[in-house]
Structure 1
Amino acid sequence: MTIKKITFLFLFLSFIFLHSAYPQKYNDVDKIVLKYPKRFNSTEDLAKRIQKDFTSEEDKARAIYSWIAFNVKYDYASFLNPPRTQGFSYSTEAEKQRKIQQLNDKLVQKAFTAQKAVCEGFTALYQHLAGLTGLKCEIIKGDSKTRLDDIGRKDTSSNHAWNIVLIGKKWILVDVTWGQGYYDSSKRRMVNDFAPIYFDTDPDYFFQKHFPDSGTYLGQKLSKDDFLNGPLIYNITIEGDHKIMEPNSGLIEVKNGENVTFRIKNISKTDQFFYLNKKNQPVRIDNAKERKGSLEFQVTFDKNIGQFITFYLGESSIVSFKVIMK
């Protein structure tokens, strides 16, 4: 793949799902679920199959994730032209709750039978199947960070949804919508590309790309500023545990000719590591030194660097920053 093509995909994909290896402990679960029928007569039948094949809460939760990600596609047409919000009237609280449940059941069945959904459908189906297999699960609504322009924007919006599911005494994070694939703008269609990393994602990484409407997670307050102003990370960042050690912000305010120090975890001097300049030409990092399991290096910011700077490991984007010239 040429550098020009890499750049085109990076700039226009809403989110990029690249995976190098499945987490080892889930390999067997995914392999079994891959052999399941693509369609079941009912959600109850699917839940019974999962309960038959898996006994642990973790494996059942993973099996639900895998089956939905393998078989339900993102409904991009509905995303572009969402249906009108369906209202209803009620006279008692019981009637209100009953009608809300009816709407939710309809959402679940549509996702299950049509095998197309947006994030609301994915999360509702995941919660429904989790309940059928004896798992406690909740839906969380919030904001997502997927584009260059998301770096440093002023406020959050409620544009996404994901799940948390209780495994033993621990709540884990699940985003099956992002687990099923990505939108390829060059082909103008969704591409199914299973991403295992959005099951039990490390919260430190998860909340760099998600921010709940409540502003909290399990009672702990999250930093809205860190979410809005942090750098943009990608799937490969999470898979390779490439934590961004320096700088702390995704907004790089510099004067022309100023040097900025970067430090990224789990990258070595022998890796093919570079960034693209304003002309989309690769600039290899050649002043790097390895320090405590990370790569430390400096970049001189001048007129050759554009509004954003993105670092690549091979052909995969690792992290992007917004450049603000003083």
Structure 2
Amino acid sequence: MKLKNIIMLTFFLNVFFVNLSYSQKYNRIDSIILKYPKNFASTEDLAKRIDKDFKSEYQKARAIFSWIALNIQYDYKAYLNPQPSKRFTYRTEYERNKQIQDLQDDIVQKAFTNKKAVCEGFSLLYAELANSVGLNVEVIHGDSKTMLNDIGRKNTQTNHAWNMVEIDGKWRLVDATWGQGYFDFSKKIAVKEFKPYYFDTDPKYFFAKHYPDSGTYLNDKIDKDAFLNGPLIYNNTIGGDHEILEPNSGLIEVKTGEKITFRIKNISKTDDICYLNTKGQRFEIENPKEKRGFLEFQVTNTNNLSKFITFFLNGNSIASFKIVPKSI
């Protein structure tokens, strides 16, 4: 094949796969939102535009999520250097509620105007816009699971906020903060990357990474131990529907030389799946077998195995577990 033809074919394939990736990342609602101006005079003006352009409750709820995730950036400076909590006094319940409302209105306005916020600003802004288009919505506070050391943590804490929105009589889970991107701790930079699966997230994934202060979801109790002791899952786990079927805990008690069996949904033998040892060297999984939509494989617990074992699928982390030495 001539060099010119090779170059043209390479260009075509690059364009094809970029467009394919784009179409998978953004749906029709997102494409409309991407054409919106970045600045509106007020939240009311934005809500009116969304209410005009979209008809169904689902479309409006998704449009609000997409606008926030695409336009508001997480304020890591504020997160790393938090301001002291504001204190206020009151004589009546009305005065208390009024001051809380004023404080929340201020957070919403700053997020909307400055295009920066922490999770409280994201969730309050989502609630403000959802209410404005006639949706029932709640702001939920609770714990989030994002770090290796969160596996096997003893207690929950309040460190995050998200939303529940009612769509056609069913409550859906929304995290606009995580929908906008993430923080790369190794490079210490904020990465703006739209994550659409944090809208209407499957509860089995959502509550692997979120635990509400109430300990309940739609009046059903959430297993606190399952949250604290479960494996750490990543964005690619949710995006690829890679459910962890086995082990059922993120804490793996195992002897040296013993094999650990894993089962992960929607992975095939042809996929590139590996883990790293204590020196950062790549190690292959053992005995991979495809079974009814999942891959079963094993890892031998050796001295080279780290305290935490993280699996990578085609170069992206999907799940981490904590290895606990088993006494003889």
Q: What secondary structure sits across from 1:288 in the alignment?
A: strand
Matched, 1:223 2:207: no
Give the 3-state SS of the residue equivalent to 1:306 in structure 2: coil
Give the superposition deviation at 1:78: 0.8
Q: Summarize deviations over 1:168-201 as a string: whole Å, max 9, x none.
A: 1100000000011111234433121111110000
Partner of 2:145: 145
CA distance in 1, matches of 2:145, 2:60: 29
Aligned mates of 2:25, 2:323 — CA distance in 1 = 40
- The CA RMSD measured in Å over matched residues stands at 1.5
Deviations 1:271-314 (A, max 9, x none): 11111112211112241111111111111101010101111111
Q: Report the alpha carbon displacement of residue 26 of structure 1 after superposing the two structures with TM.
A: 6.5
Shift of residue 85, structure 1, vs aligned partner: 1.1
Task: Look up the SS of the partner of 2:27 in the other structure.
Answer: helix
Question: Are positions 1:282 and 2:282 aligned together?
Answer: yes
Matched residues in 2 for 1:286 and 1:305: separation? 14
Partner of 2:283, secondary structure, is strand
- Alignment of 1:324 with 2:324, yes or no, is yes
Does the 8 Å contact 2:286/2:298 carry over to 1? no
The residue number in structure 2 matching 1:165 is: 165
Query: TM-score, length-normalised on structure 1?
Result: 0.91
Identity score, percent? 64
C-alpha change, 1:201 and 1:23, in structure 2 (3 Å) is farther
Query: Deviation digits for residues 80-105 of structure 1, max 9, x if unmatched?
Result: 11111112122222222112111111
Unaligned runs of 5+ in 1: 1-19
**Mean Cα deviation higher: 82-91 or 122-131:** 82-91
Match of 1:39 in 2: 39
The corresponding residue for 2:113 is: 113
Q: Could you say which residue in structure 1 is the equivalent of 2:79?
A: 79
Matches within 5 A, 1:128-277: 128-277=128-277
Give the superposition deviation at 1:22. 7.7
SS at match of 2:91: coil
Greater CA drift, 124-133 or 99-108: 99-108
Amino acid at match of 1:38: K
User: Is 1:111–1:117's contact at 8 Å kept on the other side of the alignment?
Assistant: yes
Partner SS state of residue 200, structure 1: coil
| TM-score normalised by L of structure 2 | 0.91
- Contact kept in structure 2, 1:26 and 1:62, CA below 8 Å: no
Whether the 8 Å CA contact 1:263–1:294 is kept in 2: the answer is yes
1:223–1:134 CA distance, 2 compared to 1 (3 A): same
* 1:62 aligned partner, one-letter code: R
Alpha-carbon distance in 2 for matches of 1:279, 1:103:
49
Aligned to 2:86, what secondary structure does the other structure show?
coil
Distance in 2 of aligned mates of 1:195 and 1:24 = 11
Aligned length: 307
- Cα distance in 1 between the residues matched to 2:95 and 2:248: 50
Partner of 1:11: none
Paired residues of 2:252 and 2:324 also in contact (CA < 8 A)? yes
Structure 1 residue 127: deviation in Å?
0.2
Report if the CA contact (8 A) 1:275-1:312 is conserved.
yes
Distance 2:91 2:138 in 1: 27
Output the amino acid matched with 1:184.
D
Whether the aligned pair in 2 keeps the contact of 1:23 and 1:196 (CA below 8 Å) is no
Secondary structure (helix, strand or coil) at the match of 2:90 reads: coil
Over 3 Å counting, the alpha-carbon distance change for 1:172 and 1:23 in structure 2 is farther
Larger radius of gyration: 2
Counterpart code for 1:163: N
**Structure having greater relative contact order (Cα 8 Å, sep ≥ 6):** 1
Partner of residue 5, structure 1:
none
1:98-152 per-position Cα deviation (integer Å, ceiling 9, x unaligned): 1211111111101100111000010000000001111110000000000001000
| 2:255 and 2:325 in contact (8 A); partners too | yes
Q: Report the Cα distance in structure 2 between the residues aligned to 1:209 and 1:200, rounded to whole angstroms.
A: 14
Aligned partner letter, 2:102: Q
User: What letter corresponds to residue 157 of structure 1 in structure 2?
Assistant: Q
Say if 2:30 is the partner of 1:30: yes
Q: 1:279 to 1:186 in 2, by over 3 A?
A: closer
Q: Tell me, in whole angstroms, the C-alpha distance in 1 between the residues paired with 2:179 and 2:318.
A: 18
Amino acid at match of 1:47: A
Per-residue Cα deviation, 1:205-259 (whole angstroms, up to 9, x for no partner): 0000000011111100001100000000011111111111111110111111001
Asked if the contact 2:25–2:196 (Cα under 8 Å) also holds between the matched residues in 1, the reply is no
The offset of 1:318, in angstroms, is: 1.1
C-alpha separation between the residues in 2 aligned to 1:22 and 1:310? Answer: 28
Deviates more, 1:223-232 or 1:22-31: 22-31
